[in-house]
Amino acid sequence: MQETCGGCPLLHIPRETELEHKRSQIETAFRQVGSGVAVDSPVYAPNRSGYRNRHRMAVTDGIVHFFNQVKAGGCLTLRPALWNALQHIQSVSKADTTLFTNVDHLEVRVSDEPTSVGLRLTINSKHSKPHSWESLRIALGDTWRIATHDEDTQPTLRYDLGNGVTSDVPLNSFVQINSAVNRLLLHHVVETAQQHNLQTFLDLYAGAGNVSLPLLALGMSGTAIERSNSAINALAQHQLTQKLEVFSGDVHNSLQQLQPVDLVVCNPPRSGIKQGYGSIASLASKIVLLVSCNPETLAADSTHLLPYGFSLEQLTPFDMFPGTNHVETVAVLTR
Q: List, for residues 46-92, the tens digit of each pLDDT value.
A: 999 999 999 999 999 999 999 998 888 889 999 999 999 999 999 99
CA 268 – CA 270 distance, rounded (Å): 7
Q: What average pLDDT score do residues 123-152 get?
A: 80
| Closest-CA residue to 230 (of 123, 176, 158, 154) | 154
What pLDDT, on the 0 to 100 scale, is given for residue 3? 60
121 and 81 Cβ atoms separated by less than 8 Å: no
Same domain, 39 and 61: no
Mean pLDDT, the chain, rounded, equals 93
Q: What average pLDDT score do residues 207-236 get?
A: 96
Same domain, 244 and 133: no
Q: What average pLDDT score do residues 331-335 get?
A: 96
Same domain, 131 and 187: no
Considering 136, 151, 166, which residue would you say is the last residue of a domain? Answer: 151
Residue 129 has pLDDT above 60, yes or no: no
The distance of Cα 14 from the centroid of its chain, to the nearest Å, equals 26
Same domain, 43 and 60: no
| Lowest mean pLDDT across 15-29, 144-158, 165-179 | 144-158
Residue 128 has pLDDT above 60, yes or no: no
Name the pLDDT band for 123 (thresholds 50, 70, 90).
confident
Same domain, 210 and 260: yes
| Structural domain total, the chain | 2
Angle between helices 295-305 and 15-32 (to 10 degrees): 40
What pLDDT, on the 0 to 100 scale, is given for residue 212? 98
Q: Is residue 8 part of a domain?
A: yes
CA 112 – CA 307 distance, rounded (Å): 41
What pLDDT, on the 0 to 100 scale, is given for residue 77? 94
29 and 37 Cβ atoms separated by less than 8 Å: no
CATH number at residue 200: 3.40.50.150
Q: In what order do the strands lie in the sheet with 117-123?
A: 63-65, 54-60, 103-110, 117-123, 144-148
The distance of Cα 291 from the centroid of its chain, to the nearest Å, equals 10
Q: What average pLDDT score do residues 136-157 get?
A: 88
Same domain, 237 and 323: yes
Residue 136 has pLDDT above 80, yes or no: yes
Same domain, 190 and 300: yes
Provide the residue range defining the domain that includes 69.
54-151
The CA–CA distances, whole Å, from 30 to 26, 39, 139, 252, 300 equal 6, 10, 51, 25, 8
| Lowest mean pLDDT across 87-101, 127-141, 189-203 | 127-141
Q: Is residue 166 part of a domain?
A: no
Q: What average pLDDT score do residues 188-210 get?
A: 97
Same domain, 210 and 137: no
What pLDDT, on the 0 to 100 scale, is given for residue 101? 83
| Closest-CA residue to 200 (of 283, 290, 306, 310) | 283
Name the pLDDT band for 252 (thresholds 50, 70, 90).
confident
What pLDDT, on the 0 to 100 scale, is given for residue 254? 87
Q: What average pLDDT score do residues 229-245 get?
A: 93
What pLDDT, on the 0 to 100 scale, is given for residue 251? 87
Same domain, 90 and 23: no
